[in-house]
């Protein structure tokens, strides 16, 4: 028996909004969370702008105890804990350190790297022969599975508790993996999502690769320009997105509010063959990932209303649009609406797929299409493929039934997931 899977809770920590209320308002209004960072300039970065969520010390204490925060230095784990705990509470569950162990609930919560700042701190102490001063939290803050370990313990999760990592596809992959576990009956609920640290030790490698924009240090909110002819590279971002996936039977049994249904998706790799490489997608594999997702969900190409693309504001944006037109066999005015949250929050790396999926689901729940900001000059190669009307620059109130989110990451890995409006 295959179980239907629905979303009963969500949480988000994004550069333009922490919490669902702030985030929803921001994406409807086209509010950018990209700001200038003096520390990047002081380190001689070419790109001195980025997206970092604003979280006060008081806010941190709403989620983690003073003991947990002692010696804490991992922004990604912090963001993931806030988003994950918010999603859990949003689904109607208590966050209680004395709760019973729940064998029906687990988590798959991804990341790219964990606790880079903590690593740096530890390295300096080791170089000074101060190994005994490293403290007891270095391992849990720097191990890849640190985020799932924190959430598993805070929430008392007794089903699978693990962390996945597939570059920019991490969040989308986590949702697919959680969906599979519930659909097969191995769990009733899975908290899924992903997170990413921020700062120079995460972003420096990309700056060295010259894939980030250097043209908007004086105009940070205009820097992230997906699908634009004047796009000059991506803007780095950070944060976390989370959602509680649950079997429909379980959700109905406890009368839980439902945001949307997860229809399923697909994961694959281009194997770094043909046009694919460590940093570039194999178009054949991208198209196949999209097509397989539709087949797995028993959905036809004409059923897709909105695409939340990967679209990073690099030279690959036009190729991505071409891949969508080929996979869906739709172009021009017949193409679905398409948007990129990265225009407002930047590229949140491992957290991108989960944050963008939260935005995708909000569109279905509240029946709107969020705008693409900074896209006044659509790239001419894109206009050769789809009608300009399909790239909204202002929020649209539209009746939408099925939305798709896709991510294409370093290592030539691809993920696609389909969500459907849920009507009682």
CATH number of the domain where residue 18 is located = 3.40.47.10
Q: What is the mean pLDDT of residues 106-135?
A: 80
Q: How many CA atoms lie within 13 A of 41 on its CB side?
A: 9
Residue 27, pLDDT score: 98
What domain range includes position 60?
5-260
Where are any strands of DSSP class E within 30-182? 34-36, 49-51, 105-111, 161-162
End residue of a domain, out of 260, 290, 310: 260
Query: Based on the structure, what is the number of domains in the chain?
Result: 2
Residue 317, pLDDT score: 97
Return d(Cα 81, Cα 241) in angstroms, integer.
10
Residue 20, pLDDT score: 98
Please tell me whether residues 356 and 277 are part of one structural domain: yes
389 by Cβ neighbours in 10 Å (0-12 / 13-18 / 19+) ranks as: exposed
Please tell me whether residues 308 and 286 are part of one structural domain: yes
89 by Cβ neighbours in 10 Å (0-12 / 13-18 / 19+) ranks as: middle
Residue 1, pLDDT score: 81
Please tell me whether residues 50 and 179 are part of one structural domain: yes
Residue 177, pLDDT score: 98
Return d(Cα 91, Cα 195) in angstroms, integer.
20
Whether pLDDT at 118 is above 90: no
Where are any strands of DSSP class E within 86-196? 105-111, 161-162, 189-196
Please tell me whether residues 139 and 227 are part of one structural domain: yes
Where are any strands of DSSP class E within 274-412? 306-308, 337-339, 402-409
Please tell me whether residues 106 and 126 are part of one structural domain: yes
Return d(Cα 382, Cα 145) in angstroms, integer.
39
Please tell me whether residues 95 and 191 are part of one structural domain: yes
Return d(Cα 416, Cα 309) in angstroms, integer.
10
Q: CA 2 from chain center: how many Å?
A: 26
Please tell me whether residues 241 and 151 are part of one structural domain: yes
70 pLDDT band, cuts 50/70/90, is confident
113 pLDDT band, cuts 50/70/90, is confident
Residue 137, pLDDT score: 77
Whether pLDDT at 115 is above 90: no
314 close to 211: Cβ distance less than 8 angstroms:
yes
340 by Cβ neighbours in 10 Å (0-12 / 13-18 / 19+) ranks as: buried
Please tell me whether residues 126 and 105 are part of one structural domain: yes
Please tell me whether residues 253 and 354 are part of one structural domain: no
End residue of a domain, out of 260, 275, 290: 260
Return d(Cα 7, Cα 420) in angstroms, integer.
10
Question: Which range is least confidently modeled, 126-130, 302-306, 384-388?
Answer: 126-130
End residue of a domain, out of 204, 228, 260: 260
Mean pLDDT over the full length of the chain? 95
CB under 8 Å to 186, separation ≥6 — which residues? 159, 160
Question: Which range is least confidently modeled, 54-68, 258-272, 282-296, 344-358?
Answer: 54-68
Please tell me whether residues 375 and 336 are part of one structural domain: yes
CB under 8 Å to 40, separation ≥6 — which residues? 47, 48, 49, 50, 200, 203
Return d(Cα 324, Cα 328) in angstroms, integer.
6
Maximum CA extent, the chain: 65
Q: H or E segment at 140? A: helix 138-142
367 pLDDT band, cuts 50/70/90, is very high
Please tell me whether residues 142 and 270 are part of one structural domain: no
Instruction: Count other Cβ atoms within 10 Å, centred on residue 45.
Output: 22
Q: What is the mean pLDDT of residues 19-28?
A: 98
**Which residues on adjacent β-strands are paired with residue 191?**
107, 244
Return d(Cα 417, Cα 265) in angstroms, integer.
4
223 pLDDT band, cuts 50/70/90, is very high
Whether pLDDT at 124 is above 90: no
Residue 128, pLDDT score: 76
Please tell me whether residues 313 and 202 are part of one structural domain: no
Whether pLDDT at 71 is above 80: no
Return d(Cα 15, Cα 33) in angstroms, integer.
5
Residue 84, pLDDT score: 98
């Amino acid at each position: 028996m295959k179980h239907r899977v629905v979303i009963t809770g969500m949480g988000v920590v994004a550069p333009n909004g922490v919490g669902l209320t702030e985030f929803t308002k921001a994406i409807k209004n086209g509010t950018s969370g990209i700001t200038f960072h003096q520390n990047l300039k002081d380190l001689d970065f070419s790109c001195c702008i980025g997206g970092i969520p604003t979280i006060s010390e008081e806010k941190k204490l709403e989620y983690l105890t003073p003991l947990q925060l002692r010696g804490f230095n991992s922004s990604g784990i912090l963001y993931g804990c806030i988003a994950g705990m918010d999603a859990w509470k949003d689904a109607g569950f208590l966050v209680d350190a004395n709760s019973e162990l729940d064998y029906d609930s687990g988590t798959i919560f991804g990341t790219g790297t964990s606790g880079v700042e903590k690593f740096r701190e530890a390295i300096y102490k080791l170089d000074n022969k101060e190994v005994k001063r490293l403290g007891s939290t270095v391992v849990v803050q720097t191990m890849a599975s640190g985020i799932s370990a924190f959430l598993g313990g805070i929430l008392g999760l007794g089903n699978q508790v693990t962390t996945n990592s597939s570059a920019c596809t991490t969040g989308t992959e986590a949702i697919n993996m959680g969906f599979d576990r519930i659909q097969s009956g191995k769990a009733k609920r899975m908290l899924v999502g992903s997170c990413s640290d921020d700062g120079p030790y995460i972003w420096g490698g990309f700056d060295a690769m010259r894939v980030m924009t250097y043209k908007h240090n004086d105009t940070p909110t205009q820097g992230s320009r997906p699908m634009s002819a004047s796009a000059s590279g991506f803007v780095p971002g950070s944060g976390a997105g989370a959602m509680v996936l649950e079997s429909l039977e379980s959700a109905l049994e406890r009368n839980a509010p439902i945001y949307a249904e997860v229809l399923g998706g697909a994961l694959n790799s281009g194997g770094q063959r043909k046009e694919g490489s460590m940093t570039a997608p194999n178009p054949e594999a991208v198209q196949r990932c999209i097509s397989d997702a539709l087949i797995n969900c028993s959905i036809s190409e004409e059923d897709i209303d909105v695409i939340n693309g990967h679209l990073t504001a690099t030279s690959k944006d036009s190729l991505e649009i071409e891949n969508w037109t080929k996979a869906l066999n739709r172009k021009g005015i017949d193409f679905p609406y398409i948007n990129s949250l990265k225009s407002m929050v930047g590229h949140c790396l491992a957290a991108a797929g989960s944050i963008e999926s939260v935005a995708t689901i909000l569109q279905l729940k509240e029946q709107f299409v969020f705008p693409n900001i900074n896209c006044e000059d659509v790239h001419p190669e894109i206009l050769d493929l789809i009608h300009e009307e399909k790239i909204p620059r202002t929020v649209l109130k539209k009746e939408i039934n099925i939305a798709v989110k896709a991510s294409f990451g370093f290592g030539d890995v691809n993920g696609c997931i389909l969500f459907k409006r849920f009507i009682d």
